[in-house]
Structure 1
Amino acid sequence: MKTAFRYILLTLTFSLLAGFLSACGSESGTVTGDWTIKTVNGKSPADFASENGVYELGTAKNFTFTENNVTVSAVDETGNIVSKSYDIKKNEKGLDILASGSTISLEYIEAEDQIRYSVKQNDVQYQYILKKGTTDLESLKTIKAEKGAVTTVTDSSKAQDEVV
């Protein structure tokens, strides 16, 4: 279960990054800063988690973009906040996240001030939308969910002003 959760968390993270960077291009200055997950497959992280029997903390992530890299922060299954940084580069469509031999393309939607990306895992396509702001990961790190239980931790669709 823990291995599957880690795999899902990693895949979701890469998926978000891929969609965001592919469309940023000359807009890289616009996407600089803090972003968090708004929706997964059109649903809030809490609703997606509840409907799919996964922990909401697995869908709560913060992304901090600079000109040269992105740092992704999340709460792992032990309740610790973990972060990983990835190099980014511009392409003709936007930006790419360079992660362990793979590239994730992200699309910036200027009219909606959102970032979009999608990822395929176990023959299921996941589409992520990011919005500016952060999710309060500190409040999530104390959650102790029982194995197999679905727990709504917080409304992670509410972005906050403070930086993680």
Structure 2
Amino acid sequence: MNYLIAVLSDRIQAEAAYLALEKASIKSTILGRGYKTADEFGLIDPKEQAQKQARLMAFWLIPFGFFAGVGFSVATGLDTFAWAGEIGNHIVGGLLGAMGGAFGSVFVGGGVGLVAGSGDALPYRNRLNEGKYIVVVQGSEILSRQATNILREFAPENIQGYADEIG
């Protein structure tokens, strides 16, 4: 399945482009105020993706950090916390390792997810927030080419094609 996304500056242009595509028997969708939202269409929210990535990393990094902290404490034999005793030192070391894992999951999982996980969805979301409209055409490559020719007549701010390749 191919996607063709055109960013248009106002509602009148978006509706005119939609009607021109409809006249050519090409189904399309308008995103913007009064039409579908980015969430309804399925454009991912980068903040939500970053939170998911941070949670997934925390699932692995916190236990790993705990055991790494205990292992480090046992291997080095350091008596960092004299008040805790030998076993308490190992447990405190494990808790500190778990905290390191939690921080790593937030900074790496959340930060990388926020920066790299959004793909092109963030610029399109920003354009919608600016009050612009997006016309999306889904279909075959031939249909995308026909739609491109029609949409270029409306001088879109941006027109971009994507191929959804599976496997």
Greater fraction helix: 2
Q: TM-score if structure 2 supplies the norm length? A: 0.23
Structure that is richer in strand per residue: 1
Q: TM-score, normalised by structure 1?
A: 0.23
